[in-house]
Structure 1
Amino acid sequence: MSAPIRLLHVDDDADMAELTALYLQRENDAFEIETETDPTAALDRLDSDLDVIVCDYDMPEMTGLEFLEEVRRSYPDLPFVLFTGQGSEEIASEAISAGVTDYLQKGYGSDVYAVLANRVTNAVEQHRSKRALAESRKRLSMFIEHSPLGVIEWDEEFRVRRLNDAAEEILGYDGGELQGVSWRQFVPESAEQAVEEVVSDLLNVRGGYHSINETVRADGTRITCEWHNRVITDDDGEVVTIFSQFQDVTERRANRERLERLVDNIPGVIYRTGTAPEWPFELVRGACEELTGYTEDELLTDVAIARKLVHVDDRELVETEIANGVAENGTYDVVYRLSREDEDIRWVWERGQVVDDGDERIEEGLVIDVDSLKRSESALDRTNRVLTTLLENLPFGVLVEDDSRKVLVTNERFTELLDVDANPDELVGADCAQAAAELADRFAEPEAFVNGIAERLADREPVQNEEIVLNDGRILERDYVPYRLADGEANLWIYRDVSDEREQQLLLNGLFEESLDGIGVKGIVTDEDGEPIDYTYERVNERFEELTGLNAEDVVGRRATEAIPGIEETPFIDIFGEVGLGGEPRTFEQYSAPLDRYYKISAFSPRHGQCITIFSNITERKRYERRLERQNDRLENFTGVVSHDLRNPLNVARGRLELGRETSDNEHFEAVSRSLERMDDLIDDLLLLSRQGEVIGEPEWVSLSSVASASWDGVKTDGATLEIDADLELRADKGRLRQAIENLIRNSVEHGMNGRPRDDRNDERIHIRIGTLPDGFFIEDDGVGIPEAERDRVFEHGMTASTDGTGFGLSIVGRIVDAHGWTIDLLDGDDGGVRFEVTGVETRR
């Protein structure tokens, strides 16, 4: 027997709810169904033992999705099936986005209920399975979090699903930064191929369970990690998940490698010898053959080789230096020539010590090839050549002078810029003071050129981008950098031709000021964590002022939060911060509440920390779009009313008819009759509602008392009485006004009693009074009134206190009042009933 499934069905239509329960229990006797027509009351019936909720979408007090939102506050994972008669792609999309478990459109016949029963059962089974899986994962999570090793769980694409604190500490990331990140994030390019093979083996359950590879931490440093990988599969052999445990073995591996490199990769030879005259080798390691031309075995087995290694002309020197060093402090240090096996000669440096090893004294030492010093000289020469080439090909002029103002070096670009008739080599050693005086007449202000050099030399403070102008109109920028050489002070002068750059800047400035769009240059202000908290206006154009209504002098140089109160409540600071700090350009439309305008904005970042915005005012377009949206909403609302309020009684009628045919029970046919009568009433009001749009006929002056009398004649009053005190004319669409007053009178007649006890007056008839206001009129009765809690909803479609009403009468009144541009308010009547006041009306007496 299946486990019981406790189901709460919420539907404002009691007949539909009863029908649904009958069919569901026929489909699955495991269902324990609880039915509720009031969503608010349904919320009170929620508890942890409930397995699933089946809910209608369009209900008077709240929609199914609003009910879902309330349910999710306390029960975020409870299965929720939206079973609605109002079906559309938009509602389906909205339902899925809101998080419903399943979505099914109502219909008639047993098939739809079989589908509903199946989906409910599946939803409950999946929910129970997920709950069991969650418990299992909880136990697994405890193991992961308390493991002293780093632990990572991977998803099917080998991205990080989760990791423990130890893993984050090893990799140098903070909480959540690696969530969803591929393994490639922390594997260097050099190790990618090897790791990719491991990943492939793991995903195909072929191996890859142990590996050691280089890993990149968050700060860019590289470490070596040892990985132990485990693949978890289900009973069918399918991969469920993959875990990796790992640890940082960088130091351990580095120590071993350092020792190996010390022994095997030292640029020389380490040795141990006896103190016999022949210096026999007892141990030799290192680059023996590279340095000496002999193998380690040859050096250990041939005693004569040791003496032959020292150049014959240096043997006496070596013996003397070793003897003196040992005698002084037990160590020696000597440089000599070494004769290789191939008779090649190399300079080497040897350092060693004498060690007492029991009864024997031995020598331990190191021999290093110092021929590299000569190679260093060659490398230095190559470096000088590179620097010279670089200097010759720089796009700007360079001149370096010493503390005596003699030219140390210059380049060809310098001579070109200043039209010097000499090559750079010829200028070396020239007097810079004399050269400056000779070159002064090439500048628009000769004296300022010479004096500027003198001032820089006196201050000895770096100066950048100093502008000087030549006689031919070219513009140069000059940098001055004082520095020290090994033998004294020096001065570096750099000259750049910025004529083309300035011309382009003038062009950009012109475009900036003449643009038809507003332009603002903003500097992003960040907090201590580097997050954007504000921005300053660095520059704006004239069009900026026109489009925002702000003065440039009030914003430039100030923070946005200072210049525009309330800007911190808008998304602009975050958006411009993301662009200025992240570099990704954005184009978007946004309403500015402080300026009460809509803008289309393109934002980009020319450099880190700066954001430039180009924008236009689209307020009028947005207002037009909103008007169009309201028209579409009205059409959608009408369609929804037709779909929902007609489909429910139709479905009930069909369902009852089917059950009646099966059971021959007259109760079902009576329900069919009630549904058809309700549909007839709905169709009459819907047809009327469809004609009550916002567009009205040409207004004219009409008598309120005449229209009121005609309206009274058009309503079945059931013995009610009418008092008209309305000596007033008003401008209105006469036909629409009459319809509104008829509906208000009908509301009083039909709902004034509403089955509730009256006071102790003998007169049981409803009395209705119509009177005037300074800018409108009122209609009131002495009935039981409308409860305070229901007044905000009386003008909504389908709102009625009667089981026989359609709920469209007052909705039609509201539409007619809105179409005239009037306002209607619901108040208490003078005699305890209800009072409707219509104001904002153009009147005359």
Structure 2
Amino acid sequence: MTGPIQVLHVDDDPAFADLAAEFLEREGDRLNVRTETSPENALEPVREDDVDCVVSDHDMPEMDGIELLEAVRDERSEIPFVLFTGKGSEEIASEAVSAGVTDYLQKEGGTDQYTLLANRIENAVERYRSQRAVERGKRRFEAIFDNTYQFTGLLDPDGTILEANEAALSFADTERDAVVGDPLWEGPWFESSPDARESAREGVEAARNGDLYREEIAIHGVDGEAIVDFSVRPVTNEEGEVILLIPEGRDITELKDRKAALRRKERRFEAIFDDPNLLVGLLEPDGTIVDVNDTALGYVDVDREDLVGRPFSEAPWWTDEYREAVEGWIDRAADGEYVEYDAVHPTDDGGSVTVEGTFRPVTDADGSATRIVVSAKDVSERERRTRQLERRTRELKRRNERFDEFASFVSHDLQGPVSTVRGRLDLALDTGEMEHVEHARRAMERVDHLRRDLVDTLRTGEVVSTVESADLDALFETVWTAIDPPESASYTVDDASVEADVDALRRLLENVVRNSIEHGNDDVEVRFGAFDRGIFYEDDGPGIAPEHRDHVFTPGFSTKSGEEGIGMGMASVRQIVLAHGWEIEIDEAAELAGVRFEIVTE
């Protein structure tokens, strides 16, 4: 080893001490000599570890060289100590050796003695330093070997166990003496697993040939199985020969479990991230975009590379009215809050979609948010169905209200004919005149007409289904027969046709014909035909006053009073017209003297 050597020369003769120091430094360029005439004072630099070697005379007044040696050994037991005395004897030499002197040299005349002394000092210090280096290395090795959680050992090149550290021994619940001398693969760590034993053999073989061997294996210990990062590496000498093998094992069971758990989380996240039904984004806690999925990109005309690194609130999914709210949602999620939101996103085709979503923090072991996952579901179709359902509900409500209104009208209008039936039958019983029975029969016919009108009106929205070409003449003939008008009544029909639901159109005509007969004379005349915008019907009855025309189709409305006015037929007419998508207008008859209904079918 190189480096300066600090020498302390103790001699009660200051002149000799200085002379010796000068010669020593001249002989050894590495030597730095400090002189001291008092043995007591010489102990201070020794205590402070400022010297590498002590050279001392023997005969000194305060204490002799042997006593100084013993005092030095009490302070530093291994420091080189050379007894350099002019009065040597076998007795003194023996005492010096017993006290642990490093070297013994007798003073002589001439300068050659200083050359010898310098050489003895350098050799002693080199040995001392080498021993200290070895000791330090040994302590470091022991500290590493026995104070690590890794399983570590030493092997002969043939695989025989020379040492095993405490971690390895404790894992297998065994003692050093029980394993030293055995082949590695026969050690208790590998005995329950043929695969592990084979790995141990392969590791020794590879390392013996100068190669590092490394493999993950399962070994068994007192507490069960462990997954170990197992390796065997060679130790070579200066000639490159393998002289030792070092097997090591690091228990990675917990690491493997954490990795497996992390992978499960990653797979769950990937499943969410790649869900084609979700818009998903990954953000930094400050809202910077880390990644977005393909589904989210499908709603905007921008590449992923153009989005990563931008603030999420400035991304094209958000209009200006949402940006401030988005920043607030990010802040809340960064503070650990699970944030739910709903919004409207613009799309690249100029439209928009309604979404419902969340800002979910991803936290570390301390509960601090490390990422924010934003996910949203397009609920536009659900919203559309909801609105459709609401419209249907409102329509049903309005329809039920109309049904309630119809029921009220029918209840009211039935009172007249029912009262007539009762009155006429009472008169017939009292007088025996059959004329009253006839009147009662007609009243019952009105009741039946009302029932049919009610059924037709309630069914209007559903009965118009099959539309086909209807011949007006043939259709009207069946209506006329069904009504059974007075013999003096007459009709005229154009030779024409119309696209309609035949059954529904028949009920419409029955109502207007019945209305003409009820409001006209027995010799009523009616016309039915086509005009440039649809079909028409007119009669020669009293007509409908202009002030009543806006109310004719209202359920319960009638232009007649008393027992004949039941007011439901025209409401049924209007329902059938609307069900076809037609329009109906009321005017003066064009050729006859009564009312004209024009039904616009175009």
| TM-score for the superposition, normalised by structure 1 | 0.25
Larger radius of gyration: 2
